[in-house]
Structure 1
Amino acid sequence: MSTALGCESAPKPAQVADANADPYEDYPWLRPRGDKSVASGDLARRPMDLEGTPWLGDSGTRQDPGASATDPASGDILGGLDKELGLGSPEGTRPANPRPVATPVAPPTEEAEFDAWTIVIAAFTIDSPQQSREGQAQAALARVRAVDGMDDAFVTTRGQSFMVAYGKYDAPDSSKAKGDLQRIRSIEIDGQRPFASSFLIPPPKAALAGSTPELDLLNARRMYGPQAKYTLQVGRYAREDFQPASPSERKEFRRLAEEAAAKLRKDGEQAFYFHGETMSLVTIGLFNDADLPRKDRPASALLRDLQTRFPNNLLNGAGVRIRRAGQKGEGQLAPSVVVATPQ
């Protein structure tokens, strides 16, 4: 659709991250143990990461049976499961009766687009200097599958993204889809829920007519919890003079916003729409206080990535230039902006 957030939602060439970027910063629980590609050094020098994800303590690297030393899927698995299984522990600290270790299932090649809803657990949108998006997703898949009940996870693609996904559902409100989503979000490892941000995406060619509750920002806090405090506004549908819209205009703005959010969601983005009195908005992502920049730290990698890929706050699918008082020239394109989610 030509007006659905303009070129920002169109396919783009593969992007290459900065040489110091950490592809696993948004999914620290999926990082192979012993990965030395972290910008600030090895995991032992990442106190912020370790505080939030204690299972990433630098206890060395385990090789899965049959995995080569260079296999990106090798390394410690999620949480403290490696200790519970007696893997990667110093000699003499293994449990007396360790549980048997199942032979790892080789990750399949990514599944082609399929005509069903699915649950996105993690999405990788940018190649890192050390690993491609596909490589990151395949490595993450091995660790997701190590969690009880996640054997059927797989890798699929939408747009430019490689995603670790789970399940295929006819409708987002089916009992199976809702049950699996709730179960996956509720999985706890060392007292944390690493998959709490999982969400449903529609089929690539789905025609999502009318209002879709899963994409309505009004439902975000209810669906994702009180930590879903903020989102990135990337588009507005409104009169160019921002005067109150007529009923017919408001109906059209709502339709365009919902279509834009649906298209972005089908491309693997966690997109939402929001209908206000004078305009309808399109946003991407959910964040909490820890994602926002502070004097002593930058914004999270997830927020920075989205601001890089969606730098503008479009109006009716086009960029809008703004000029400050006394400013000369054309001005600057209105940037995307972090806004609070409705309570």
Structure 2
Amino acid sequence: MTAPASLPPEPLPRLREFGVYIGRFEPPHQAHLLVMQGALQSVQTLIVVIGSARAARNTKNPFTAQERQDVILAMLAEVGVEAGRLRFVQVRDFFYNESLWLSQVQGGVAAHTGGSRDVALVGHIKDESSYYLRSFPAWEFLPTHVVSPLSATDVRKAYFEDRLEDVRGMVPPAVHAFLDAFRQTPDYAELRAEYDYLREYRAAWQASPAPPVFVAADAVVTRSGHVLTVRRAARPGRGLLALPGDLLEFGETLLACAVRSVRQETGLPAEHDLTAALRAQTVFDYPDRSQRGRTVTQAFHFDLGLGALPGLHPAADAAEAFWLPFNEALGRPDLFFEDHHAIIEHFLMRG
């Protein structure tokens, strides 16, 4: 009697050379860990792209890119993943230039792949916030099977509201240890105070029949390779650098609002005619540009030409006002409030 022929073994799934996983990880949570573990079953090396790098700490982005990178390594080490299978790319936010963001991601990944085309993009298309997964057609799309309602927004909310047992159930042990240690720092104390301030600020508008849209004006004043900058004295963003600016008052134009803000916040001498120095203006309306609520600003660029830098006399709502050299203004996005660095960059990079 002839023995039955044995079935050939099923082929193992192909192991891609590189996988790319993009996120902000503010902070990493259990679903992030599951996605990375799943990806590492399909790729040899996982490149984790950490967004919102080089930004000032705030309640939406409370942790530095390096802190997030370190805690991702720690949480993966806990489940036996070797650090050698991971690579990292840290990418800035480019609110008003999607092409620059794409270029940063592509360049950062290329620095690790050495020209290999065997690259897969890991992700889950859940809503319009996942649009970026369609932005890299040269990479194979590798859908994750992890579907979870958990979000970093939920973690941050529980964290800043002292619901620590809820946090424990949302994040891996290494992340919980990091968050627990971070709670003892002055940075956490400032962020917690800002979280409470913003919650009260937004609550004041909850009775409005429709979500409010605030209109503001900001001023980019330049002279002799410097930009006029203030340091915020009040929340939100206390201690961060910002442009002179304010919410629009009834009865004034946006241009008048920008000029008023410069005079009030910096004490720029009146002999410098800002209206005559106007060179350009642009609307900045990224929907999430301000955590206070939907805020649209019209920014004006005033160029005072060459010459000595005028003396300044900041008002009470600015801790200080000073002339910041272009190289420092462009090179330190981590010092600036909200999207003010992007606004400065927009006008200065126009040439």
Which structure's CA Rg is the greater one?
A: 2
Q: TM-score, normalised by structure 2?
A: 0.27
